[in-house]
Amino acid sequence: MLFTLNLLLYFFWYLPGYDNLNAATDQLGTSLARSLAFEATTGLYDADRAAISNLLNRYADQTDVLITRVLSEEAGGMALTSRTKNSPQNQGRLYQHPIHFSNALLGYAEVELRESRLGQWRSQALASWILFDMIGLAALAAFIYLRTQHHQKRWQGVSQQLEEQLPNIYAQLDGTPEQQLEQLLSLLSGPINQHGQLIRHLQQNALSDDTERLLEQIEMVSDGDYRDVALVSIQCQNWDSLIRTYPANELQMLWNDYESLMIRVGELYSGILLPDGFSLAFGLREDDSFAFNALCAARVIHLALAEMAERNQRLSPRFGIAVSAGPAFVSKTRKHGIPLPLVTGDAADWLSHLKTQLPVEQILLAEPILQFEDVNQQIEASLLRDITLPDGDRLEVWELDRINDRDDLLAIQARTLIDAA
């Protein structure tokens, strides 16, 4: 920046100022030489040495004039010089003008001007220039120092947080705050890229309570293992009719309402939303009543869907609900960068077979969930049919009628969830 300022000063201040002062000196010298030639014409024509000498001394008394001369054109003619000042020789700038009388050339008038004023201006300009650079360097040094102190002060807070929360990363940082920031960005570039979808999702849903609920459920996702789980899934059975009824943006808003319902019910009963957005998994952490919680969640969803259908003036989605429980392998996958469980195994297979029965406004149960004692003792269910599985085994399909002593409470929960949406 200082180098650029020096270039600007040189081209737009020093050079124009020097050229203007140089031009003014030339203009003065030319004017004095012309005036001297005009006034010396009569004296040179009359060979009046006294008049010319007096004229030369008068011009030489001017401040910027070093010496004046009048030279005759004739060989051996008059050559008069004014008295000299105490100035070094060859320091002036010479200006000459011819002396004419009618058409005859009588001689020349010469004026020599001192260049000390031009040198003084140049010295003062250079001194000012150096002073400007010194002040600029001092100001730049002060700016860098204050900026460094400001960055150090701001970085201390970040550094303390890194030391407390990310000690492994903090131990790898050294140097100035700028260098440490570059190192931090380099270390975090991988996780940032990995969680880019999460960042974009949070930017688009910064004010969404459902996003906060979904993030709170992340801690429920454990490392992959083999365990008993319960699954609840809802499936729309009139999707084609909805597509023909709603434009894309309205259908997306409608669908968000149902996904929000799944998230809220999952929060209520310790379930977590699976990547498809319309399935909940229970039993991902130590909870002996996860199967009964899954049935309660399914019943709340069933009652809430019926209430939402009554309130909607237009065509509503018609959902069937499938519930299964059993052994499954739980691993991790991601949706919008959020780690969510991926469930495979018997529980997921039985759930998929229930969905093929196309339940509409029903809650279908895979028989293994009835083997949990707390489930068997607290529900009323009726057998619908048997399904022959691809391996030759048979799977009983039951329909849930009600949950004893809990339906009234679950209905209140369903209405509360809808009103709070």
pLDDT digits (tens, 9 = 90+) for 247-256: 888 888 888 8
- pLDDT, residue 291, reads 93
Q: At what angle do helices 196-204 and 177-194 cross, to 10 degrees?
A: 90
Residue 381: CB atoms within 10 Å? 20
Task: Give the model's confidence band at 151: pLDDT under 50 very low, under 70 low, under 90 confident, else very high.
Answer: confident
- Residue 324, judged by CB atoms within 10 A of its CB (0-12, 13-18, 19+), counts as buried
Longest dimension (CA), the chain: 148
What is the model's pTM? 0.51
Side by side, the strands of the sheet bearing 104-114 are 79-81, 65-72, 104-114, 92-101
Confidence tier at 199 by pLDDT (50, 70, 90): low
- Confidence class for position 109, pLDDT limits 50, 70, 90: very high
The whole-number pLDDT of residue 156 equals 84
Looking at 83-92, 133-142, 203-212, which range is the least confident one? 203-212
pLDDT band at 276 (very low <50, low <70, confident <90, very high): confident
d(CA 197, CA 201): 6
Q: How far is residue 373 from each of residues 29, 123, 288, 291, 357, measured CA to CA in Å?
A: 120, 104, 11, 10, 26
| Dist. CA 195–CA 335, nearest whole Å | 10
pLDDT of residue 224: 62
Q: What is the pLDDT of residue 31?
A: 93
Please tell me the predicted confidence (pLDDT) of residue 295: 94
Percent of the chain residues topping a pLDDT of 70: 88
pLDDT at residue 207 in the model: 45
The pLDDT value given to residue 152: 81
Using alpha carbons, select from 227, 226, 315, 319 the residue that is nearest to residue 278: 319
Average per-residue pLDDT in the chain? 84
Report whether pLDDT(389) > 90.
Answer: no
pLDDT of residue 273 exceeding 90, the answer is no
Q: Report how far apart, in Å, the C-alpha atoms of 35 and of each of 40, 56, 95, 112, 375 are.
A: 9, 11, 12, 14, 125
Least confidently predicted of 160-174, 217-231, 383-397? 217-231
**Lowest-pLDDT choice from 220-229, 303-312, 376-385:** 220-229
Q: Are 353 and 389 in contact (CB under 8 A)?
A: yes
pLDDT digits (tens, 9 = 90+) for 93-106: 899 999 998 888 99
Q: Which has more pLDDT, 285 or 70?
A: 70
Mean pLDDT of 321-340: 80
Between 209-218, 235-244, 312-321, 354-363, the lowest mean confidence (pLDDT) is in 209-218
**In percent, how much of the chain has pLDDT > 90?**
26
Mind listing the pLDDT tens digit for each residue in 176-197?
Answer: 877 888 888 887 776 666 555 5
Q: Which of 82-96, 216-230, 356-370 has the lowest mean pLDDT?
A: 216-230
Residue-level pLDDT at 219 = 53
* Confidence (pLDDT) at 206: 44
